[in-house]
Amino acid sequence: MKSTKSKVNACYHLSYEGKFLDHCGVVGIVADSQVSPLIYQSLRALQHRGQEAAGIAVFSEAVACSKGMGLVHDVFNEETLNALKGKAGIGHVRYSTTGSSSLQNAQPVVVSSSAGDLALGHNGDIANTKALREDLKEKGWAFITTTDSEVIIRLLANEIVATDDIIRSMKNLMRMLVGSYSFTLLANNRLFAARDPLGIKPLCIGKLDNGYVVASESVAFDAIGAEFIRDVMPGEVLELSKAGIRSSHYPKPKHQAHCMFEWVYFARADSVMDGKLVYDVRWRIGKCLATDYPVEADLVIPVPDSGRTHALGYSAASGIPYTEGLIKNRYVWRTFIMPKQLVRKQDVRLKMNPIRYIVEGKRLVLVDDSIVRGNTMERIVAILKDAGAREVHVRIGCPPIIAPCYFGIDMKTRDQFIACERTIPDIAKTLGADSLGYLNFERLWECIGLNKNDLCLGCLTGEYPVEIPGEKLRFQKRIEGFQ
Ligand code: SF4
């Protein structure tokens, strides 16, 4: 398969299970007590959104920031948290898609300006970073990191110095940015948050007994006993204080473009996102797969953990018993770059082992959320057949992935998608599956419960909600054109 469109040559990194890696998770808390322990717990609940680095910034007399490489509980301990004193703060977990994986690129990004200390936590990808960075460089700015987040905070610092009005500065910034972003901002002791005008990345608001919290997913609120209030609206800019929330809006777009993958795979099943419980969406997807792709089989088994809820839905609708036929080794940590195919194959076997006693002689429905490159699924089918499965029928909880993501999901080239320019029977043959069924488009938005025009489907259609050089634009000419 040759890419005809994408000129980007970079490889993308997948998780151990052959899944996309999300970019980041953000949190911001303001309260009348120390916030760093609460930020720490929230970040642990958001750990699935980024495992490379974690950081917390709080304001006391100045912004103090601590960050490190690794999981949240490896980066912070009682001593480091006690040193972060302040009643307003932000936190971040990171997986790198722009900028390399290094401590320097970990977030929050902190800058000092004549307007005071600023700390930013960003989830998303800014498509026009290069042009914005060049522009700032021409104006004499030097950059410490290679991330788009530093470009954002430097642009914002410029605006705040020029306008002396943080909300206005954030709106001005949003006019310059093309892409996806949810961010939390600590400006001295004040906490702000914003979500991109298309709502590509999630962000929601919770209430504490003594303050407020914003986070990428509602599971962060559950972890700290906060009450979910609502999602941040696309294009909404917020200031959160102990007294309440001040909201302001960027001009409202005609359409939204929520990332459909949040419901299909990225978000935790126990999160509520844009009004939809992720678990329910996945269960409905499984049910639709059973209706649309019925098959005579003995057992429904999930690819753990990503296909579990979809498989439960499939089982409930088909009446075929659900069971665990593959056991995941939770103690093998992933390596980010697995250069050789052979190593990848061995890794799959190390990560997932079939229960021979259960699968031997059985006709299986194997359910997962998505297929990216296909190597992992191919290996899993082979593992099950080696263990004696008579038939393996693969059911996938979203349409085929055929195009890159430019909005913070680590896949930038078409070349390696198994579904790119191939038919379903051809893909099934490559996987070694006895049959293959992908969720169709109509079912996808039906299961999510949103209008198709309010979802980003870029990686499924190759049509994007904002202008990406060399790619097809889905609706409007430019983001500034929304009214
Ligand atoms: S291109 Fe795909 S993964 Fe990226 S934001 Fe859009 S729907 Fe999500």
For residue 262, give the DSSP letter. I
Average pLDDT, the chain: 89
Three-state secondary-structure class, residue 76? coil
User: What's residue 18's pLDDT?
Assistant: 57
Q: Are 450 and 460 in contact (CB under 8 A)?
A: no
Three-state secondary-structure class, residue 477? coil
For ligand 1, say whether the CB of 263 is within 6 Å of any of its atoms.
no
* 218 exposure class (CB count in 10 Å sphere: 0-12, 13-18, 19+): buried
Q: To test the ligand 1 pocket, which listed residue (261, 370, 410, 461) has its Cβ within 8 A of the most ligand atoms?
A: 261
pTM: 0.90
Q: Is the dihedral of CA 154, 155, 157, 158 positive or negative?
A: positive
For ligand 1, say whether the CB of 417 is within 6 Å of any of its atoms.
no
Pick the catalytic residue from 11, 24, 204, 405. 24
> Residue range 151-168: average pLDDT?
93
For ligand 1, say whether the CB of 372 is within 6 Å of any of its atoms.
no
User: What's residue 366's pLDDT?
Assistant: 98
Grade residue 6 by pLDDT with cuts at 50, 70 and 90: very low
Percent of the chain residues topping a pLDDT of 90: 73
User: What's residue 8's pLDDT?
Assistant: 30
Map 5-27 to HEC letters. Answer: CCCCCCCCCECCCCCECCCEEEE
Supply the residue whose CA is at minimum distance from atom 5 of ligand 1.
259
* 368 exposure class (CB count in 10 Å sphere: 0-12, 13-18, 19+): buried
For ligand 1, say whether the CB of 459 is within 6 Å of any of its atoms.
yes
> Residue range 187-195: average pLDDT?
96
> Residue range 378-393: average pLDDT?
97
Find the 35 Cα to ligand 1 centroid distance in Å. Answer: 33
Helix (H), strand (E) at residue 222: helix 219-224
Ligand 1 closest atom vs CA 455: 7
Supply the residue whose CA is at minimum distance from atom 2 of ligand 1.
459
Grade residue 344 by pLDDT with cuts at 50, 70 and 90: low
Q: To test the ligand 1 pocket, which listed residue (370, 407, 417) has its Cβ within 8 A of the most ligand atoms?
A: 407
User: What's residue 322's pLDDT?
Assistant: 98
Going by C-alpha positions, the residue among 46, 51, 22, 474 that lies closest to residue 262 is 22
User: What's residue 35's pLDDT?
Assistant: 98
Distance CA 63, CA 57 (A): 6
- What are φ and ψ of residue 315, in 5° steps? -65, -45
Cis peptide before 305 (omega within 30 of 0): yes
* 61 exposure class (CB count in 10 Å sphere: 0-12, 13-18, 19+): exposed
Grade residue 351 by pLDDT with cuts at 50, 70 and 90: confident
Q: Are 45 and 219 in contact (CB under 8 A)?
A: yes
pLDDT of residue 2 exceeding 50, the answer is no
Going by C-alpha positions, the residue among 156, 147, 151, 155 that lies closest to residue 23 is 147
DSSP letters spanning 265-320 = IIS-TT-EETTEEHHHHHHHHHHHHHHHS----SEEEE-TTTTHHHHHHHHHHH-P
pLDDT of residue 22 exceeding 80, the answer is no
User: What's residue 162's pLDDT?
Assistant: 93
For ligand 1, say whether the CB of 407 is within 6 Å of any of its atoms.
yes
Residues with Cβ within 8 Å of residue 388, at least 6 apart in sequence: 356, 359, 360, 361, 362
pLDDT of residue 323 exceeding 80, the answer is yes
pLDDT of residue 38 exceeding 90, the answer is yes
Q: Which residue has the tokens 């889905």?
A: 474
Distance CA 384, CA 366 (A): 10
For ligand 1, say whether the CB of 383 is within 6 Å of any of its atoms.
no
Diameter of the chain by CA atoms? 71
Find the 262 Cα to ligand 1 centroid distance in Å. Answer: 9
> Residue range 175-201: average pLDDT?
96
Of 6-20, 75-89, 180-194, the least confident: 6-20
> Residue range 452-463: average pLDDT?
95
For ligand 1, say whether the CB of 392 is within 6 Å of any of its atoms.
no
Ligand 1 closest atom vs CA 458: 1
Catalytic residue list contains 420: no
Supply the residue whose CA is at minimum distance from atom 4 of ligand 1.
405
Grade residue 95 by pLDDT with cuts at 50, 70 and 90: confident
pLDDT of residue 481 exceeding 90, the answer is no
For ligand 1, say whether the CB of 257 is within 6 Å of any of its atoms.
no
Q: Give the HSE-up count for residue 334: Cα atoms under 13 Å, Cβ half-sphere.
A: 21
